[in-house]
Structure formats: C-alpha cells, structure tokens
Amino acid sequence: MAQYLSERGFAVLRYDKRGVGANLTINPNVWGNTTVNDLIQDSKKALNVLIQQPEVDPKRISIIGHSEGTVIAPRVAIDNSTKVKNIILMGIGAQNLRDLLYYQTISLPSEYATQVLDRNHTGLISIQQISKNPFRYSLVLNLLVPSSVLHTFLRTNNTKIITNTLEKDFANNVTKTSYISIDKQLKPLLIKKYENLTALNLSKCNNLEGCPVWYRSLSSLIPTLSIIGNVSNLQVS
C-alpha cells in the first residue's frame, strides 16, 4: 500500500511497530513490555516526524489504520484534530477485545469451514484438499498444525509435511479416514484457543499475535465504536 500510494504522488511514512524489525523479527524484551498506549504514542511521534518533512503538506495529512491500527488511528486523530485531515480505517476493530476475539477465533473460522471448505456439506474437511491448496485453507490451517510446520512449508513449498502432520493428528486410525470433523475436531480447537486468549494470563508472548501486557492494555481500552464519534466527520472514510 505504501508503494502504491508513493507511486501516485503521496508522501508516505511507514514504520515498524515497536519491538518488531525486518522480516517480522521480534525483540521479546521490547515487544513483550509494549502496551497499546505505547503504540499510540509511537504513532503520534511518527505523525510529527511526517509533518516535519519538507515535501509534506501539513494541512493534508491522512492516517491509514488496519486491524490494530484502527484502534490507534482514531485516538491519534482525536488528539491531533488540527494536524490530521483524514483517517482511513480497514478491517476495523470496533468492539471490545473479547467480542473481537470471539468473532476472529470462533465465528469466522467456523463459518468459513462450514460454508466454503466443506464442499460436500458433510461436516468434514478433506485433508487431501487442504494439502493440495494450503493457502485456501490458511484461516484454519494455522490452528491445525504447529507454526514450525507452516514455516517449513513456506520455506520449502513441500505440502507433504502438512499432509503427514494432519493425518497423524486427525485421521481416524481405525478407518484411515483422512478427514477433519468441523464439529468434533475443529470447533473444540477454536474454543480452546479463544479461552486461552481471553484468560489474559499468557505466560509469554505469542509472536505477533500478542503478549500478556499488550492483551491486558487492549482489553482495558474503551471500544473504538464508543469513541469514534469524537472524530470529526470530515476526517473519517
């Protein structure tokens, strides 16, 4: 997106999230102690850096926020109403943390599995089909295999490691049925993941998905839907 905009004459400032470096490398000491308020303050500093650039018109500043950025962007705009002309929000996190997590962790993957992946409406997902097109199944695949398996697949493009892992963990050892039951196998995994996340007692960071400090700070925020009215109507799109 930054490249697309810059190629069309926009001056763009894009920066790495605190504690996150090139190729999504993470400094656990920094990222592990980062709160949402830290990220909001970082965005305000980035805004001031942008405004100081000679090629930037300080009266025509726009902020783009995606996902977590949609929690940050309105708050930056509210506190900098004289500096920010527009905010663009994509994949908006409008509700509180628990509602968002329930939708992302249980409702969306379950509905996708039922309506899209279960082609024959049998309540089953074919392991063979997953292995043939893992990117199509990525929404649920990251729940079914360890991250190390996915990383190996991305490096090697070897789908056999996905097949072997899924058949080992999910195929019926008696009938050798290479299917995953949506209700009996997938949904319990989704519910377990949701319960772990909403307990907010994680002992360590889960890569970019969040750390205990981050989760607790986000859960204490007023929902974006409740504060978006404080942003000028001229600013939101």
d(CA 7, CA 9): 6
Say if CB 44 and CB 80 are below 8 A apart: yes
Res. 140: pLDDT tops 90: no
DSSP string, 54-108: TTS-TTSEEEEEETTHHHHHHHHHHHTTTTEEEEEEES---S-HHHHHHIIIIIH
What pLDDT is recorded for position 212? 82
Residues 182 and 113 in one domain: yes
Query: Is 64 contained in some domain?
Result: yes
46 and 134 together in one domain: no
> Looking at the domain assignment, is residue 237 inside a domain?
no
pLDDT digits (tens, 9 = 90+) for 27-44: 888 988 999 999 999 999
Tell me: do 122 and 168 sit in the same domain.
yes
Q: What is the pLDDT of residue 36?
A: 94
Distances, alpha carbon 224 to alpha carbons 24, 70, 101, 209, 230, in Å:
27, 8, 15, 20, 10
pLDDT at 137: 85
The reply to whether 101 and 193 lie within a common domain is: yes
Q: Which domain holds residue 193?
A: 97-199
